[in-house]
Chains A and B, each alone.
Chain A
C-alpha cells in the first residue's frame, strides 16, 4: 500500500523555515533526556528534523529531490521515525539550548499530527481519543463524578458545584479529579481557598478534559470543541479568573485556548502557584514551618512551556524556616521527570529511566521531599523513588502549603 504524501498543512510556514535553519550543531542531542537514556539515534531532535525534511522533500520536490539523493522513505524508516517522535517527553529542553532558538515543542507536535495522518501512532491513543471525545475525561469514568475527590473530606467547602457569581473557578483537571492517588491536590487547594475566604467554585460535571492529551498525541482536531465548551461553562458562571493546579491544563487555558478560539477568554487564567503567592502576600493565608528539607522540580509544562519559574519558588520560600535547596539542573535547564508527552505510552521503560535520573538529582540535594507543581511529575517521581529504593517523598506544592496551614 502506498502511503499518503506528507501533508504540509500539518506544519506552519515558520516551522518549515525553522527546519531549514537547523545547523545540526548537536546541542539538542546533549540536552535530550530521553536520548541520554536510550542512546537511540531516532529519538534526538536533530534526527527528527533531518528525517522530516527528507520526507517532505522526497514527496514535494520531485525530480530535484532525487537529483540531490533524497529518496522516499521506506515503511520501516517511517516506523522507527514514529517511535522516535512518540518517545519524546515534549520537555522542550532542546529549545533552551538551540542556538537558533527553534521552537521545538510545537514542531514535535506537528510531526505527531503527520504521523496520525499516516496512522503511525501508538494504538493506546485510540482509546484515549475515544474516552476524551465521548466521556470528556481521560479515565473513561462517568464525567458527572468530577467531584468524587470530595467524598473523603472531613469538611467539604461550600459552593463547589458550579456556583453562579463565584469569582474564581478551580479547574481540577482529569487526573486531579479522577485518580485517587492525587485527590490530595484538589482537596488541598479547595481547603486553602476556603480558608482564605476566596469565593470559588468548580465546573463539576461540566468540566471537560482541557484537550491537552489529544493535542500532544497529534490529534488536535478534537480540541476546539472541548475548549469551546469549557470556556462557555466558565463564562456562564461569570468568574473573573480560572485557576488550575495541573500545568498542562493551565498551559491549554492560558496559551492555547485564545489561539484555538481566536478570541480573548475574558477572564484571567492563573496557575495555582500564582494564586497562592498572591494570597500569601496579602496575608490571607498564614503558614507554619515545614521540618524537612525540600527541593523543587520544575514541571516542563509550567516552566519551559509556560514560563512560570518564580511563583512556585516564592511560595516555598514563604514557608517560615524552610530548608530549600535547588537541584543542579533547575528552571530553564531543569531535567524532565519523564512523565510528559504521553511518552510513557510509547516506551514506559525509557520514561522510567528518565525519572530515575531526576529523582537521583533530587536526592543529591540532601532533601527529604521533592516538591513539584504537577500531579504527573508527582506520580512519576514518587514511582521512581519507590522503584529505585530512594528514601524521598514527592509532594505537590498545594499539599505542602495546606500542610503548613494546619493548626
Chain B
C-alpha cells in the first residue's frame, strides 16, 4: 500500500500549529515583560529586562541549584507531590489524565518522526522500523504499541470520568465550574473517544476483506505501511478494546470502503480537536498545564532554600 498522505497532512498542519503555539507563547511572554523585574528599576527597557532574565535563568541552570530545581520539577511539577499528600483520589485523577496524555503525546511524536521524517532523509520503512528502541513505534499494530496505546487511552478515560464525577455529580464545593472548564473537558473526552473510534475503524478498514469479513493478518498491509521486519511483532488484538469493537462491528459485514470512510471521519475529528486544544491552550485558563510545573518547581526550590536559611539563622549572639 502507498504511503498514507493523511498522516503527512496531519504532521505538516501540526508543525504549523506548533509554530503558531510558540508564537502565541512568545507574544504573551513579551506582554509579561511589561511587568517588573524586581532587581531592575521600574522603568527598565524591555531589552534590559530580557537580558536580566536570560542571565538569571542561565545562572540558575549552571549553578548548584539545578539539582534541587530538577528534583522539584519532577517530584512537584510532574508528579504533584502536594496534591498526593492532600487528596489521593484527586491526585490519581489528575495524574491519570495529565500523565497518560503526556506519554501518549510522546509516543505519537516519536511515531511521527519514524514514519514521516526519517523517510524525508532517504531512510526506507524497513530501516526506520529496524531502529533500536523507537523502530517498532512505526506501526500501531505492533503488539506492545497496541497494548500501551490502549492502556493509556483507558487510563485517560478513567481519569476523565473521575474528574467529571467530582465536578458535575459530586459537585465538590471548592470547585468553581465555568464554561471554559466544560469546554476543555468536552474536548479532552472527544480526543480520547475519537481516538478509540478512529483506531477501531482503522482496524476495520485495514483488515476487512472485499467480501466484508473482518479477518486480520499481517499480510493484509503493504510492506511500506507495515515493514516485514515487524511481522513477528504484529499483534493488533493486544489493543483489546478497539480490536474487540472492530470484531463486533465486523459482524455487520460492511465493505472496506465504508470502514475507510468512518475511519477518515474519526481521524479528522481527532485531528481537529487536538489542533483546537493546542491552539486554544495558551489563551485559555488551562495554560497552567505548562506554567504550573515551572512555577511549582521554582517556588518549591526557593521555599526549601529559605527554610534552610532560617534553620541556619540560629539564636542571637548574646553575652552570657
Closest B residue to A254 using CB positions: B313
Q: With the chains together, A136 CA to B78 CA distance in Å?
A: 49
Known interface pairs A61-B31, A278-B315; A100-B296 also in contact (CB < 8 Å): yes
CB distance from A44 to the nearest CB of B (A): 9
Residues of B with C-beta under 8 A to A26: 172, 174-176
Most central of B176, B303, B316, B318 by chain A CB within 10 Å: B316
Per-residue contact bits, chain A 348-379, to B (CB 8 Å; 1 contact, 0 not)? 00000000000000000000000000000000
Instruction: Check B80 against A99 for contact (C-beta < 8 Å).
Output: yes
Question: CB of A102 within 8 A of chain B?
Answer: yes
Question: CB of B65 within 8 A of chain A?
Answer: no
Known interface pairs A13-B33, A282-B320; A27-B38 also in contact (CB < 8 Å): no
State the 8 A-B residue pairs at the shortest beta-carbon distance, nearest first.
A26-B174, A101-B299, A21-B295, A21-B291, A8-B34, A21-B292, A20-B291, A16-B32
Instruction: Check A279 against B318 for contact (C-beta < 8 Å).
Output: yes
CB distance from A267 to the nearest CB of B (A): 11
With A17-B291, A60-B34, A282-B319 given, can you name 19 additional A-B contacts, CB distance below 8 Å? A12-B38, A16-B32, A17-B32, A20-B291, A21-B292, A24-B176, A24-B181, A27-B86, A27-B174, A29-B176, A67-B283, A99-B296, A101-B295, A102-B299, A198-B318, A270-B316, A278-B316, A281-B315, A282-B320
Per-residue contact bits, chain B 287-309, to A (CB 8 Å; 1 contact, 0 not)? 11001101110111001001100
Q: With the chains together, A225 CA to B124 CA distance in Å?
A: 73
Residues of A with C-beta under 8 A to B307: 307
Q: With the chains together, A102 CA to B284 CA distance in Å?
A: 19
Count residues on chain A whose CB falls below 8 Å from chain B CBs.
50
CB distance from A197 to the nearest CB of B (A): 8
Question: CB of A37 within 8 A of chain B?
Answer: no
Instruction: Check B310 against A307 for contact (C-beta < 8 Å).
Output: yes
Known interface pairs A13-B35, A24-B176, A277-B315; A100-B42 also in contact (CB < 8 Å): no
List B residues at the A interface (Cβ < 8 Å).
Answer: 27-28, 31-38, 42-43, 49, 53, 76, 80, 82-83, 86, 172, 174-176, 181, 280, 283-285, 287-288, 291-292, 294-296, 298-300, 303, 306-307, 310, 315-320
Q: With the chains together, A105 CA to B208 CA distance in Å?
A: 63
CB distance from A81 to the nearest CB of B (A): 16
Residues of B with C-beta under 8 A to A277: 315
Question: CB of A9 within 8 A of chain B?
Answer: yes
Q: With the chains together, A350 CA to B82 CA distance in Å?
A: 31
Instruction: Check A17 against B174 for contact (C-beta < 8 Å).
Output: no
Known interface pairs A22-B288, A282-B318; A11-B35 also in contact (CB < 8 Å): yes
Residues of B with C-beta under 8 A to A386: none
Residues of B with C-beta under 8 A to A47: 176
Residues of B with C-beta under 8 A to A9: 34-36, 42-43
Q: With the chains together, A11 CA to B38 CA distance in Å?
A: 9
